[in-house]
Amino acid sequence: QEGADAIKEIIKNNNSAGGNRVDFIDLNCGCPIYEVTRRGLGSSLLRSPAKLHKLVKGLVENASDIPITVKIRLGCETDTINCLENVKAIREAGAMAVTIHGRTAQQGYSRNADYDLIKMAVEESKNEQYDHVPIIGNGDILTHYEARRRMSETGVHSVMVGRGALIKPWVFKEFRDNNTWEPDIMERVEIYRTLAMYMKDHFGDDEMGRKKSWNFLPWHFEFLSRYTTSHPEDEFGEQSLLKPLIQTRVVQPDGLSPLETLLANRSVDAHNKIASMLWESNSNADALNKLSTFSESHEFNDILKNGSADEKEDKVLTNLPSNKKGKVGRWEKRRGRKPGPKRTDEEIAQIRADRAAKKERILAEGGIWPPSQVRKERQVQ
């Protein structure tokens, strides 16, 4: 996920002999995180289709043979949905593919993804002879059958999976096999440990590598802990027609084993302990043993009683601005200066006349206009 300036650096690197080669560049205009949008990046780029067109066209023209793709949302604010305009701007700028998340940035994950509007974008692209530019649907995909149904209903070329892959990373295996996979507890521990080992390989097996990994590894268990079932189609197919399964709050069943209770715990304290045991384990069996022992310990019982859990659904992905009362989900544009009193038309006309008279006087006296040019010349001297 890169800002525009960083993307230009990637293009520069790939056009040079020693650059790190990438297969394609994806401009993320879907990020709703407030720290990104308030700086004019992420989904705030959707506010102006003309500006977005110019940006994408510039990337395409300067990227040599590197394909440019773009990910967007329905819009930035809910009252200014402009998905169709942005898709048109992107494809005419030369992008190779467009991914559409079926919600606005303001909505976060508070509503179901709108695939009807995504379908309209697909149909419009076909009508305007742009069906060679793939449109990818995104939002509320948790199972292989929901993915196939969305593709069939909307005509998108494919679907992108976000939160669903964070909850159960094997959703891609299910789609490939066209079958639901219910991993047992040992298989889940193996998958989770694989993630820890990938981070250890990437960041390093030392204190600094661990410190860097801890920006990500415990965080992943905010999602992995939500797993309850892989939702077999014969049990959950009809329910998924009424409401996306990922949008349905699932209560953990009674009678879970201590280890299952640990893996389902939403406490940050538990997530840090799980991450530590996976990191320090010598094998999958060792990880299973460490986790099982901890799940029956007094320390975990204390976490069950006193651990802090963030129950605000998907706040970790949206980070939407809050109002003074701390209510999450309100959206405000970046705060600027407090505006002064509005001038009348007569006052504006008088200001312009005064400026014109000042300009005429300075030029008549042999001066330089505008005055800012004088400062520039002094700086050069």
Q: What does the longest C-alpha to C-alpha distance in the chain come to? A: 92
Query: What's the N-to-C CA distance of the chain in angstroms?
Result: 43
Catalytic residue annotation: 31
| Nearest to 16, CA basis, from 57, 50, 55, 64 | 64
The angle, 0 to 180 degrees and rounded to 10, between the axes of the packed helices 268-280 and 217-224 is 120
Beta bridge partners of 138: 101, 160
* Burial class of residue 209 in the structure, from the number of CB atoms within 10 Å of its CB (0-12 exposed, 13-18 middle, 19+ buried): middle
Q: Which residues contact 220 (CB under 8 A, 6 or more apart)?
A: 166, 195
Contact assessment for residue 57 and residue 93, using Cβ atoms and an 8 Å cutoff: yes
| Structure token pair of residue 344 | 């009348």
Contact assessment for residue 214 and residue 200, using Cβ atoms and an 8 Å cutoff: no
- Rounded Cα distance between 364 and 369, Å, is 11
| Nearest to 147, CA basis, from 173, 110, 121, 182 | 173
- Rounded Cα distance between 11 and 16, Å, is 9
Q: What is the gyration radius of the CA atoms in the chain, in angstroms?
A: 27
Give the pairing of strands 97-101 and 68-73.
parallel
Using DSSP, state whether 102 is helix, strand or coil: coil
- Rounded Cα distance between 134 and 215, Å, is 34
Q: Which helix (H) or strand (E) holds 315?
A: helix 315-318
- Rounded Cα distance between 343 and 341, Å, is 6
| Sequence letter at residue 134 | P
